Each structure stands twice: as C-alpha cells, then as structure tokens.
C-alpha cells in the first residue's frame, strides 16, 4: 500500500481544501453535469460550514511531502456509521494507491468497522476501490440524473 500520511486540516487550510475539491472533482462534474450534488460545484461557504460541524474532520492526504488529495470523515462518535464524504486524489496523483492508503489510515484513526459512503455507480474504478477495501453495496441506488446514480456502500 502507498505510503501516505493524513494531516488534520485547520480552518486556515479550508480555502486550499475547497480549491483542491473543485479541481479534483471537475472531471466528474463535466462528465455527469450533476451540479446540485457534485463536490466539484460546492461553494466555499458550504465546505466551511461542514468543517465547522463537530462531527466532521478534514484531512490532507500527503505523500512524499505533497498534498495529493483530501478526505472528509463524518464521525458522530456513537453507534451511527462513520462516513467518507468525500475523498479525492488530485488527477496528477491518481492510480498510485493513495486513496486506498488514505481509507486505511482513516479506519486506523476512527475505527475499522461501521462505515458508510456513496459513490458513482457508473465509475468502475470507484466501485473497485471500495470493494477492494472491504466495503459492499447495500442495494440502495439513488438516481441523480440520466447519466449518473449514487450507490451506497457499507463496511461492517
């Protein structure tokens, strides 16, 4: 597995995290045109409001001294499922194992069990990533538009 470190983001990091999110999801936004739901179309204010939620933690995904992506973890610290929402690797750093290493690191921090997430059903690479990490589809599929559906995954 790739060698990464999760670095907890601060309030001062949030503009950078937001810009990385916009850039990291721009390809999917262009492809699926899901302007109402795509992280690539979110305002800075929405991302900042999430950061300020007591159950949210944003982390940079750092590899070899570079911030190669980011992940947001929702952890209510109760019996409800923890969530990855969202995770992204910047385009120039993809296919190096960073996403799977970041998920493993998040599970090391927040606990290995009781996770939930949604991803694009039409993106085979995303489905493969989560299945490889031990997540399974719940059977819940949410139609976003004529090009895209979100499938819900869990890890017990």
Pairwise CA distance, residues 72 & 80, whole Å: 16
At 100-151, the pLDDT tens digits run: 999 999 999 999 999 999 999 999 999 999 999 999 999 999 999 999 999 9
Q: Which residue has the tokens 């949604």?
A: 118
For residues 4 and 105, is the Cβ–Cβ distance under 8 A? yes
Q: Is the pTM of this model over 0.85?
A: yes
In CATH terms, 5-111 corresponds, of 3.20.20.120, 3.40.630.30, 3.50.50.60, 3.30.830.10, to 3.40.630.30
Q: Which residue ranges make up each domain of the chain? A: 5-111
Residue 106's closest CA among 69, 146, 61? 61
For 70, phi then psi, to 5°, come to -155, 165
Q: What are the tokens at 28?
A: 């999917």
At 31-81, the pLDDT tens digits run: 999 999 999 999 999 999 999 999 999 999 999 999 999 999 999 999 999
């Amino acid at each position: 597995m790739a060698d990464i470190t999760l670095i907890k983001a601060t309030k001062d990091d949030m503009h950078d995290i937001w810009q990385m999110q916009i850039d990291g999801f721009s390809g999917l936004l262009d492809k699926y045109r899901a302007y109402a739901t795509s992280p690539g179309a979110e305002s800075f204010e929405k991302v900042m409001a999430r950061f300020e939620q007591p159950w949210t933690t944003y982390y940079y995904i750092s590899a070899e001294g570079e911030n190669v992506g980011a992940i947001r973890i929702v952890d209510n610290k109760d019996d409800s499922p923890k969530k990855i929402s969202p995770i992204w690797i910047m385009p120039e750093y993809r296919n190096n194992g960073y996403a799977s290493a970041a998920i493993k690191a998040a599970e090391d921090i927040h606990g290995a069990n009781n996770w939930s997430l949604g991803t694009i059903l039409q993106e085979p690479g995303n489905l493969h990533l989560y299945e490889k990490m031990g997540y399974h589809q719940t059977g819940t599929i949410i139609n976003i538009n004529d090009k895209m559906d979100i499938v819900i995954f869990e890890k017990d």
